[in-house]
Structure 1
Amino acid sequence: MVNTTTLSPPMECPEQGAPRSSRLQPVAGPSDTGSSNAMPGTGRTLRTRLRWRRGRQASAVPRLYQATDAAGDGLWDWDMASGAVWYSPRWQTMLGFTPGEVPPHVEFWRSRVHPEDLPLVESVLAAHLSGERPVYECEHRVRTKSGAWLWILDRGRVVTWDEERRPFRMIGTHVDITARKRIEEELAESRLQLDAILDNAPVGVLLVDRDRVIRRVNQSVAATFQHRLEDMVGCSARVIYGDDRVFEELGRRAYPYMQAGGQFDEEVVMRRADGADIRCRLIGRSVKAGDSDRGYVWVVEDVTVRWRAEQALNDRAGFQRVLLDTVPVPIFVQDVMGHYVDANSAFERWMGIDRQALFGRTVFDLAPPHIAEADEAVDKALLADQKPQSYETQLRCADGTLRDVLFSKAVYCRTGGKPAGIVGAVMDISERKHAEQALLERQQLFEQIFVASCAVKLLVDPADGRIVDANPAAAEFYGYPLDRLRSMHVQDINAAPRSVVERDLHHAGSAGQRHFQFRHRLASGEVRDVEVYISNIVVHGRTMLMSLVHDITERCLAADALRRKTRELERSNAELEAFAYVASHDLRQPLRVITSYLTLLERGLGKSLDEEARECIDFARDGAQRMDRLIVDLLEYSRVGRKAKPFRPVPLEEPLRLALLNLEVAVQDAGATVTVDMAGDGAPPMTAGDGVAPAVAGDDNELMRLFQNLIGNAVKYRAPGRPPIVRVAMAADRQDGAAVWRIDIRDNGIGIAAEDRERVFGIFQRLHRRDEYEGTGVGLAVCKKIVEHHGGRLWVDDPPADEADDLRDEDGRPCGSLFRMVLPALDAQGETGGEAPSPP
């Protein structure tokens, strides 16, 4: 309520306990007022009736206040002009005051309203006074006498207006709604708690109606099935099932059972939004048994990981069973009481007893008493300290032989660390014992060989280079007495600088290098080239270098002579290649002259030439042209590896596509079909299995000629009446540990006989007459030279038997030829995986 100075307060009426009327009354109706035209005596009757009505109203007001108090509601009557307020006794006791203790003014009420609620109260009251609202009604908090806060439903209405139609008097009630507010807060808190539980539950929760329509769902369900919450609400539960039959069948079984008060619990295959099937555990109950209108609650738990783990566990158990039976070492399992509970096949064979018959027995049933007692004592100690134990003993196996064995035992525990039993393995070490004896004998033999061998041997300490031992052959080679040599250091006999010798000793001691080449100085002062092969041996716990020294002086001299001869040959070959190139190039000029003059001769003689003369001219021209092609092919053959550009990383796709572009006309004329499968995936450009595109280090022009010659031959040497089909396939492979690209070029042509597959790569080698197929017999020789120049290999192989129908002849047999080559592959750093020569 707001105070306004335009209103005057009503006067209290202590005698009646209620306020009396002010000087203004509610506006009277026409029946309450006199008229100047009224008949005599009528005015007195109307005044009597008015007084009677006012008296009746005055007597009814106290009864109304008493009834309101009896109902437990407070009543207030506000004179808005003066701010005086009459508060009913119940209004005062509601706030903890005794009747008459409350000041009769509106400011008292204002001071009791909660400061946070006062702006709202004033705005609602102002809206009523301005006529925007027909009544004043507001819920707010009021401070009691004890300082506590009550929630009040405050209602009121202006009942009297002055002559200027301004509000004059307002009456209202106070209703204590604290209990209702507390219930609402508890309900709101319960709702928030329920929402929090649902939103944070680790499992999914759905509420569906009797028609299996989703009415509520938590975030876990949306995350499990990858749907949005808002999209799931209102949808049929079918959206989370992968199969209609599963949806319908589960509905037939689950809902009648839940309707009867049961709890349904089952694992079902369901489906996520991305189409992936998942395995879920469904737990469902009716909200109220027998009342399907209340709906059903489903708990959904994604158990895909657990299910897969169980499957993996079962697989692992089977794998472990197979593994145990595959292991050749006898293995057994005992419980804490010493009873055998399991064993593998090797143990069965060793003991000559079936594992089923072994179950429940103890070591006393299998071994002599003295061995069984010793074994039992070891097992008790093992169970006590739970530390794995290994010990050697002798055991008689099923064939009756007594063998040396090594028992290895360990305790396996249940969850919580309590011992569950013992796992033991029996290893036959009879051979090891024999090997140890043989090793001792070999050690003695080694010492004798070290001394008696004619090879030069030194035993060197890598820490300081001291020669710990040497054999007589070393003393003879170096020219020092044996005692003197054993007191020297390798630095005394090595002609290299001391720092280099110490570095090499370090490399040899750390097993970083095994082979060295030095120059050693003999006692006579002569320096000899030697190869030293070093191996680490342990002598009394110390690592020593066993050095085997070979005198390679003569070999080094021969190698120097060979290098000089090689350089001379390289120079001579270069001159020969240059000569062949120049000679071949100059040979083409006379051929062009011959061809030109033959043309002039034919043109000049014209029609005077008879048929025989023209045939002679044609033979001469054809011979000149064939000679020119031979020279051109010879030039191309000589250029391979000689005029090559420096090698660079070349994606095989580039020269292959350029070759196909050059052969486009020939392919179309022949009606051929050429397909390319890069790295086995069907379409270039693609990558191999390790993510590296097919690439080599090489010359792109030479690689283009390689593909052009091989594919062109496949198109040219086609079988009559059969459209050519050429298939190029590239795939990653490994040869001798190096990464390579394997390239197959397969066709359905006339093929190459097995006895001719090596000969076709020779220069000027032809398998057909010139009137059958054109060519000079140089193309395949060029291809082989290009492949070898790139560090690869090219050959002709048998067509595979599992060919497609279009690569078979009329009899259903594989036809055509298969050219195969391998080229060193480039890795991600642009380096070749194998040894590939670099261009000169």
Structure 2
Amino acid sequence: MVDATTLCPLSDGDGPSGAPSDAVVPKLRARLKWRRARLAAAVPRLHLAIDAAGDGIWDWDVATGAVWYSPGWQTMLGFSPGEVPPQLDFWSSRVHPEDLPLTQAALQAHFSGERPFYECEHRVRAKSGEWLWILDRGRVVSWNADGRPRRMIGTHVDVTARKRIEEELAESRLQLDAILDNAPVGVLLVDGDRVIRRVNKAVAATFQYRMEDIVGCSARVIYGDDQVFEDIGRRAYPRMQSGGQFDEEVSMRRADGTDIRCRLIGRPVKAGNPARGFVWVVEDITVRWRAEQALNDRAGFQRVLLDTVPVPIFVQDVMGHYVDANTAFERWMGIDRQALFGRTVFDLAPPHIAEADEAVDKALLADQKPQSYETQLRCADGTLRDVLFSKAVYCRTGGKPAGIVGAVMDISERKHAEQALLERQQLFEQIFVASCAVKLLIDPLDGRIVDANPAAAEFYGHPLDRLRSMHIQDINAATGAEVARELRQAHNGERKQFQFRHRLASGDVRDVEVYISNIVVHGRTLLMSLIHDITERCIAEEALRGKTRELERSNAELEAFAYVASHDLRQPLRVITSYLTLLERGLGKSLDEEGRECIDFARDGAQRMDRLIVDLLEYSRVGRKAKPFRPVPLDEPLRLALLNLEVAVQDAGATVTVDGPDGTALPVVAGDDNELMRLFQNLIGNAVKYRAPGRPPVVRVTVALGRASNRQDGAPVVCIDIRDNGIGIAAEDRDRVFGIFQRLHRRDEYEGTGVGLAVCKKVIEHHGGRLWVEGPPDDDLRDTDGRPCGSLFRLVLPALASPAAGAGRDGEARDRR
């Protein structure tokens, strides 16, 4: 508070010590009384003035918390004067909870001396519950001796209306920004100097500039050239300055130099005040402009297109009159489109068809939904054809129907096909039902029996209705997992034939063979199962397997018997030979020529019988006493065979050559090296033995890699050719030579027992291969007359490892049936 002594000067009549004299004191008291009276009169006037202005006053005793609220303060919040308690808690309870910390922070800043006065805008809840925005101002007018505030006076000003205006203004600005940013056309604000002050996103997108790069630049950057820029400035701005509007299409340019066509609409921000600038709306109409330019060409193109389309197309107005048609429709109806103009369907079709067509057109114009329907139409040749009409309504601007566009498709062939399909379906159903074979239709997804024929009901012993409600798991004796796996394989086409055991209604279990194929019935894939009862066949097969096992045992015993018999037979032959030798030696010179010849015949017969027994023994041993197969490089048995034949080859003056694949080592096979040696020894030995007189023998062994042509997997094989220039084998004897004891020549011509090639055949079959003989090929081995001579023995053996592709001589096996 201000001290009262400061209200008047103390210089008149002051005593020596500075105290007022007795004469001055009455004057001072009178002046002070006058000033207090004046101040007391001024306060109500101040309160009245503030209340008249609609503001409120508060007087706060900080120490006690008592607050005096002026009547205007109370009525501002909707209270009657005297209704508000004179306490600070009342004010703090009405302040919005979010704003209370702000008011406390502002008071503290004033109390601490950071601010010369207290000022804060906050919300206060009125008596009605409405929140009012208050501008709260105040100042400490009295302090305690310790520097704490003692008294504070302030005002309340209702600024709710201003706040609302500010919020509406901010909302308007946000809406304007949103409108500009989302506007589909570009908007620019340009000042009187044609400098761009503001743009929206559409402008940046249209001209491919960043917004910050284009603002502040001359509007020249978006024009195609200086001439267009100057022309717009010369014509547009005077019109806009006078309050008019400029609206034209001009050529403009993007940042990348691409010319575009735009529509420019310009208006002043405020008419008659060019200083406020100008608003330009820019719409990129390049696509539309090009479309308009191409519109005339498109009309001609559409005419050509319609006439090129082979489907008849026509156009009718809402009254049903034909107004246009293409060339295909003209050919179909046999009438020119000019003559067609103005006619109706009653002029082209029989009455009953025309009436039905008219009813469809009326419904189409009513709901405007495209329609397709089948009917009949008479062609130019007079035939009545099944057709598919496809129609749609075309409308004018505003959605009002203008007419109907229709297309006609000849479906006569399709109708015939549908009829044929229906007949085939009926035929299938008859075959399925009437056939005596057991048939089931099964859903591959869950195994449900979709359908069954009467033969199936008779076989399984279930009524048809019961059978059609069952699952295949109900009659299949296999486990559910096995049945599901077989169904998947059948559905995927991996297998067609299966063998199961099916349970009958009687409890019997029958062996069945099932042939399954996928069929589509009404768009649904099902399994057609054809079931054969093979129970009797399975019993017969089991009996056959027993007989086979018995036969194998019998063959083994016969082989053992042949081995023992041949072994035991050689002993008497050796005795005979020995005694013949002793007899010849004992008789000596007393033996005449005839006796000596008889002894030679007997000895020769015994020796031939011994060789025959040895060959039989060898034949019986093939495949019976063979060692377990091991990897055998073919070089080994071939080398041993040639070593054993060395004397015979030299005596005959023969030439034997061996050629491997590409000059490398011979391939490896899985087999018995001893049997393979006998195989090569017999074949090469025969080639040397059966030579033509006066022609030195030539034997060529060729080994190559290939793939079996008679197997789907194309397994790798070793192909061996043994070519000679000997006497050859007649075509009618080429199969017979592999039989046991089959000789083609007399013993005085070529010795032998006729067992060698039978042994070779048995060895090659034991190794899983094939052996055959062919006539002489057309090569360099020829007789004296220049004709091909000799024979060609061919062998095919499974290779041990997969050979490199193309390593064989021919690239494929030459195994032939």
TM range (shorter): 0.3 to 0.5
Normalising by structure 2, we get a TM-score of 0.47
Larger radius of gyration: 2
Normalising by structure 1, we get a TM-score of 0.46
